[in-house]
Every structure is written in structure tokens, then in C-alpha cells.
Amino acid sequence: MMKDNVKSKGQILSGEGVDYKAIFQAVPSAVRVVDTDFNVIIANPPMAALSGQSLEASVGRKCFDTFKGERCHTKDCPLTRVQKTKTAMKAEVVKERQDGTKLICVCLAAPLFNREGMLTGMVESFEDITKQRQAEALRATSSYTRSLIEASLDPLVTIGADGKIMDVNKATELVTGVSRERLIGTDFSNYFTEPEKAREGYKKVFSEGSVTDYPLTIRHTSERTTDVLYNAAVYKDEAGKVQGVFAAARDITERKKTEEALAKQTEIIQRQAREILEISTPVMQVWEGVLVAPLIGTLDSQRTQQFMERLLERIVESNSPMALVDVTGVPTIDTQTAQHLIDTISAVRLLGAQVILTGIRPAIAQTLVHLGVDLSGITTRSSLSGGLLVAMDSLGLQVATSKRTNGKEA
């Protein structure tokens, strides 16, 4: 028995009665033999499978009809080249199957010589590398996309449907202080100062499809915090099934700093405005029980109301029953301001004090009368000194001329 096996092996290998046809059929690659006129002489089963053309249909027909490619009929056709150069060659070719699908194949072609050394035909084999090429293209695109994601200065993160981090970029590692490996698989809400709020935002993305400008604060392992606004959206696979959430954070620390600085400045401006108001509408105590408030310039509604509050406060504070309000320096007022002036007089009365209005200019007199309010209760004088006399009189004071101080006669 052993001898028979060896013999049969030897038969295959020694060349006597070698069943080359069987070998040809068994070769795992797609192979075919073509004559110098490009007729297909033989083809093996893998060739038939690759080309989509049965063996019976291939044999006897032209190679460019049974398994055509982009190089057919051109000088780049491997078979043509082999025929010409009488040497083997290798090329990457694009072929088309019987059903029209395109393939990328590595084509190895070699010349066939007869015993006399004459070229009788060409043999070519094909290896389908379509899938490989597609994978490479995909990897190239992914690595391009990946490098874009990594280049982004905004922290980017993908979160799965279970709320766990699936992937992050460098910026996320920097802002959290945690490495990519340690981040992946953990609950994304762990890295915020308000985990509940982060989870709510995540839920919102799922229920509404996306979320914009959602404010959160990221916490670094060093306790440093970063205020951000999140823009997030769900992403789906080809079938439309939601895979997870893609979220991008925008650092608004600078913006917040600017806002705070602006708020501080506004506060300073407002404080200065108040101070200016106090300087421009002073309330001075000229005698025990007598206040004088000379109003100067344009009086608007707000300024008058603020003056009203300050005057009443001063009256109570200094216990002064007399307040002289001089409006010589106020050329005109609108009806609203006039009303506030009248309100001031009434309010002072409620306190238990009295306003004496002095220096009313014609325009103001007009506005006051046109208001139609009862002006009979208001004490007025044309000059501040006149008003002062009324005040003193009311307090039981008298102004007397002393012979000593008034040196001159006149």
C-alpha cells in the first residue's frame, strides 16, 4: 500500500501521466489560459466564480468578452504586454463581472512557449482585492476624520445609549485631566460639577434629537472647573437606529470673564452716576431746622424721584421742618417731572415738614398750572432769600440788624 501511495505521489510529481488538468482545476486562484488571438483556451472553477461566467461559456470566446476590464484593447492590457515583451508582469486591474459589478484585482500574467520556444499563448491569474482596497480607503478617511477630531480644541465626546463614554478626543482628556483609556466606559456625568444637570441634558438630547448651548461646568481632577456650553445631537447607524450622542463643548470661561468685567464696569458707572446726582442736587442744612436744596439744570423724571427720596431722608435725619427747594436754575420741566415735584411737596407735608418753593421761572409756572392740580397749598417765593425769611419766621426766628456788625451807615 505504501508503495502505491508513493508511486501515485511520484506519478504526480515525476511528470509521467501527471494530471495537469486536475492540478489546474485545483489551483486556488482564478486562472485562465488565453491564446495569441485572445481566445480563452481553458479556465478553472475559481476563474468562473470570479468572472461570473461559466467555464462552458468562457472557453472558445474572447478574453475581453468573458471577463472584461478597463485595460482591454489598450496597450496596458497585461496580456498584450506579455505577448509583446514575452515576459511576465503583475498589475492591479479593474475588472467587471458578468453581472456588471466592478472588481479590483491583482493580475499576474505570464507567456506560454511551446517546445520550439514560440509564444503560443498567455496565462493569467487574478486575486480579488476589492474588499481590501475598500477597507484601506475607509481607514484613510477615518484617519483623516480622526485627525480632525483630535485637532479640535473643543472637547468632543461620544456617549452610548447607556450613558457611558464611548470615545473622546485630546481636548476632553485635557479638560477633565483623565486619560482616554480611563474615560471610556465610565459614566459621562461624573466629570461635571452638577452630574444631575448633565444627565438631564443627555436625556433632553435623546428626547428632542439635539440640544444647543446647554450650560454645564466640567470638573478637572485638580478641582479646577471650566464653564462650557454643550451642543449635542444623536447619531444613527445606516438603518436609522440611534447609536448614541455626539457632544461638543464650547469653553465660555473667557466670555464669562468678559461679562463679569462688563458688569463691574456698569456698576462703577452707575455708582458714579448716583454720586454725580448727589453732587448736582445737594441738600444742605443752613440752620437748625432749615434745609436748602438748589436744583440746577434739567430735571428728568428719574432724577426728580431720586431727589425726592433724598430730600425726605435728609428731613427726617436732620429733623428739619423747613425745606427750601430753589428752582431758579431749572429752566423748564415736563409734566411728569412737575408731578413729581408736587408729589415731593405733598410727601414732605405727610412727614410733618414743609416745602417752600422758590425761584419759579415762567415756563415752570406754566407747566405747574397746566397740570391742573391744587397749588393753593404750596408756599412759594420768588427768591431764595424770600423763602428763607418765611422759614425763619415759621421757626420763630427773626433777622435783626446789629449796629456793631454793620459798620457803614447805608
Partner 1 sequence: MEAENISVVKVRDVLMVTVPPDPDDETISALQDQVLQAMEQYQVKGLVLDISTVETLDSFFARTVVETVQMVALMGGRTVVAGMRPSVAITATQFGLTLGNALTALDVDRALYMVSDRHQEKSHGTKPRA
Partner 2 sequence: MVLSQGLDRAIAIRSEEDIVAARKLARRAAEALGFGITDVTRIVTSTSALARNIFLYAGSGIMQWRRLEVGTGGIELKFEDNGPGIADIKQAMEGGRSTRSGLGGGLLGVQRLMDEMEINSQVGKGTIVTVRKWLTR
The number of residues that bind partner 2 (CB under 8 A) is 4
| Least distance (Å) between residue 402 CB and partner 1 | 23
Q: Is 383 in the site for partner 2 (CB under 8 A)?
A: no
**Burial environment of residue 267 by CB neighbours within 10 A (0 to 12, 13 to 18, 19 or more):** exposed
**Partner whose footprint covers residue 179, from partner 2, partner 1, none (CB < 5 to 8 Å by kind):** none
Q: Which stretch binds partner 1 (CB under 8 A): 95-103, 159-167, 233-241, 310-318?
A: 310-318
**Partner whose footprint covers residue 108, from partner 1, partner 2, none (CB < 5 to 8 Å by kind):** none
DSSP secondary structure letter of residue 71: T
Query: SS3 of 289, please?
Result: coil
Q: Is 335 in the site for partner 1 (CB under 8 A)?
A: no
Query: 248 to 287, contacts with partner 2 by CB under 8 A?
Result: 267, 270
Task: Report the C-alpha gap between 176 and 218 in whole angstroms.
Answer: 7
Q: Give the gyration radius of the chain's Cα atoms.
A: 51
| Least distance (Å) between residue 282 CB and partner 1 | 18
Contact indicator for 219, 191 with CB cutoff of 8 Å? yes
Q: Is 185 in the site for partner 1 (CB under 8 A)?
A: no
Query: 357 to 396, contacts with partner 1 by CB under 8 A?
Result: 376-377, 393-396
- Which residues make Cβ contacts (< 8 Å) with residue 242, sequence separation at least 6? 161, 206, 234, 235, 236
| Least distance (Å) between residue 353 CB and partner 1 | 6
327 C-beta neighbours (distance < 10 Å), count: 21
- Closest CB to partner 1 among 185 and 377? 377
Sequence-distant contacts of 250-254: CB under 8 A, at least 24 apart? 250/154, 251/154, 251/175, 251/226, 251/227, 252/215, 252/227, 252/228, 253/226, 253/227
Task: Report the C-alpha gap between 335 and 361 in whole angstroms.
Answer: 15
- Closest CB to partner 2 among 32 and 340? 340
Task: Report the C-alpha gap between 267 and 264 in whole angstroms.
Answer: 5
| Least distance (Å) between residue 327 CB and partner 2 | 23
**Partner whose footprint covers residue 400, from partner 1, partner 2, none (CB < 5 to 8 Å by kind):** none
Amino acid at 404: R
| Least distance (Å) between residue 348 CB and partner 2 | 14
**284-287 and 290-296 strand pairing:** antiparallel
The number of residues that bind partner 1 (CB under 8 A) is 26
**Partner whose footprint covers residue 270, from partner 1, partner 2, none (CB < 5 to 8 Å by kind):** partner 2
φ, ψ of residue 91 to 5 degrees: the values are -150, 155
Task: Report the C-alpha gap between 179 and 122 in whole angstroms.
Answer: 59
The CA-based angle 402-404-407, given to 5 degrees, is: 105
Query: 233 to 292, contacts with partner 1 by CB under 8 A?
Result: 289
| Least distance (Å) between residue 340 CB and partner 2 | 11
Using the structure block, give the residue that is written with the C-alpha cell 461635571.
192
| Least distance (Å) between residue 401 CB and partner 1 | 22
Bridge partner list, 403: none
Q: Which stretch binds partner 1 (CB under 8 A): 221-229, 306-314, 362-370, 381-389?
A: 306-314
Q: Is 348 in the site for partner 1 (CB under 8 A)?
A: yes
Among 136, 309, 317, 393, binds partner 2 (CB under 8 A): 309
Q: Is 316 in the site for partner 1 (CB under 8 A)?
A: yes
Q: Which stretch binds partner 1 (CB under 8 A): 28-36, 128-136, 214-222, 318-326?
A: 318-326
Q: Which residues bind partner 1 (CB under 8 A)?
A: 289, 308-309, 312-313, 315-316, 319-321, 343, 346-354, 376-377, 393-396
Q: Which residues bind partner 2 (CB under 8 A)?
A: 267, 270, 302, 309
